[in-house]
Amino acid sequence: MDKPSHLSVVVDLSPSQWHLCGQSSNSHPLPLSAFLSQLLAFLNAHIACNDENTLSVYGALPGKSILLYSSATAVPEEFTGPADPNTYRPFEVLDSTMMNSISDRVEALTDLEQEPPIGLVGALTKSLCYINRMSNASSTSTAAGGVQGPVVLPDPRILVVSVSPDESSSYIPIMNSIFSAQKLKVTIDVCKLYGPESVFLQQAAHLTGGSYIYLERPDALLQYLTMAFLPPPAVRQLLSVPTQDKVDFRAACFCHKNIVDIGFVCSVCLSIFCQPVPVCSTCRTKFPIKTLQRLNASKPAAPAPRTPAPTPPATSLPRSQSIGTPRSSMGNGLVAPSPSRNGTSLPPR
């Protein structure tokens, strides 16, 4: 690890999901406090790897997203006094800045009956803007605005630590973020701690060349983080980092925000619908009656609960065409069994 690298971490801080994740009825519970201490150890390791490594941490809270820590901002006042001789100064600054901003935000959360969806999109786009500015600043080599970051920004990457299920209304913004990450050559890694597999984050990791790892043992988080996510992508090619098993390319329909595997697509604007509609709600194009009748006839029967039929048996004719296609995860043992592909939507949480 000779070259400095930039890491942006997006931490999912959904209170209800963390409550569920920490419940002792889980086989391997991971309470928020344990999670934070493991995460801090990982972040410390990142800045310790190279003096010039940069770091920014975003929190995705219900309905908003905030910057928790950034190595580009000046060291706050309270750390200018005499240091604790037993701690390394940068660690101390990082840890207390993070913890202070998290506790501030968590206390400010109101006890709402209905928790608004977490601001994952906001956190993702903010980290992209941050990386964009860092790369701009380095390309013009003008350290404008007191940015004390490094001059070059190689291998920027974003690590998303997620516990919440997919928010299907954020399908388009997430896809847009993925494409801009591709343009900026940013790698998106995903560490899924809890909850159902995330279709969108799987696609994000796949399309940007990152790793998507679903933790079988959330309580062993630190080990996963240091083994898989600490080395920058360039180094990772030489290591045997667990790769993604399957990528689920399902999309969210525009009408009900269901996640569908077979959709009806408007030929004019490419909007996706979960059932044949007479008029496109996006571009207001009317579709021919003939098409509607044809599609209604050929539509997969009863879209809602399409028999949770057992997937593995290779009995049906088409199934036998793909001899021995794996239904369960293989190899590395790090990937959790994926939910049945036959369900049309993710299990409700």
Rule CB under 8 A: which of 224-253 touch another protein? 243-251
Decide whether 37 or 338 has the Cβ nearer to another protein.
Answer: 338
The minimum distance between CB 300 and Zn ion, in angstroms, equals 11
| One-letter amino acid for residue 25 of the chain | S
Please tell me what DSSP assigns to residue 347.
Answer: P
Nearer residue to another protein within complex by CB, 238 or 317: 317
> Looking at beta carbons only, is 64 or 217 nearer to another protein?
64
Question: Cβ distance 59 to 11 under 8 Å?
Answer: yes
Q: 59 to 118, contacts with another protein by CB under 8 A?
A: 65, 67, 70, 72-73
Q: Which of residues 161-200 bind another protein (CB under 8 A)?
A: 169-173, 175-180, 183-184
At 32, the amino acid letter reads L
Residues 266 and 285: beta-carbon distance below 8 Å: yes
Identify the three-state secondary structure at position 222.
Answer: helix
Minimum gap (Å) between residue 318 Cβ and Zn ion: 7
Q: Is 274 exposed, middle or buried (0-12, 13-18, 19+ CB in 10 A)?
A: buried
Residues found near Zn ion in the complex (CB under 5 A): 253, 255-256, 258, 266, 268-269, 271, 274, 280, 282-283, 285
- Pair 56, 69: CB distance under 8 Å: yes
DSSP-derived secondary structure for 304-328: TT-----SS---SHHHHHSTT---S
Residues 279-318 touching another protein, rule: CB under 8 A, are: 279-280, 282-288, 291-292, 295, 298-300, 318
Q: Give the integer Cα–Cα distance in Å for 131 and 186.
A: 9
Listed residue (62, 28, 37) closest to 164, CA to CA: 62
Q: Which stretch binds another protein (CB under 8 A): 37-45, 90-98, 223-231, 321-329?
A: 321-329
Ranges within 124-153 binding another protein (CB under 8 A): 125-126, 128-130, 132-133, 136, 142, 145-147
- For residues 157 and 204, the answer to whether their CB atoms sit within 8 Å is no
Backbone phi, psi, residue 343, to 5°: -65, 140
Which residues, in sequence order, are bridge partners of residue 62? 118
We find the least distance from the C-beta atom of residue 193 to another protein, in angstroms, to be 22
Site of tokens 């790698």: 187
Least separation, in Å, of the C-beta of 337 and another protein? 14
**Residue 348 engages another protein in binding (rule: CB under 8 A):** no
Helices (H), 74-117: 89-108
| Partner interacting with residue 243 (select from Zn ion, another protein, none; CB below 5-8 Å by kind) | another protein
Comparison of 38 and 56: residue with beta carbon closer to another protein: 56
What does 253 bind: another protein, Zn ion, none (CB cut-off 5 to 8 Å by kind)?
Answer: Zn ion
| Minimum CB distance to another protein, residue 136 (Å) | 6
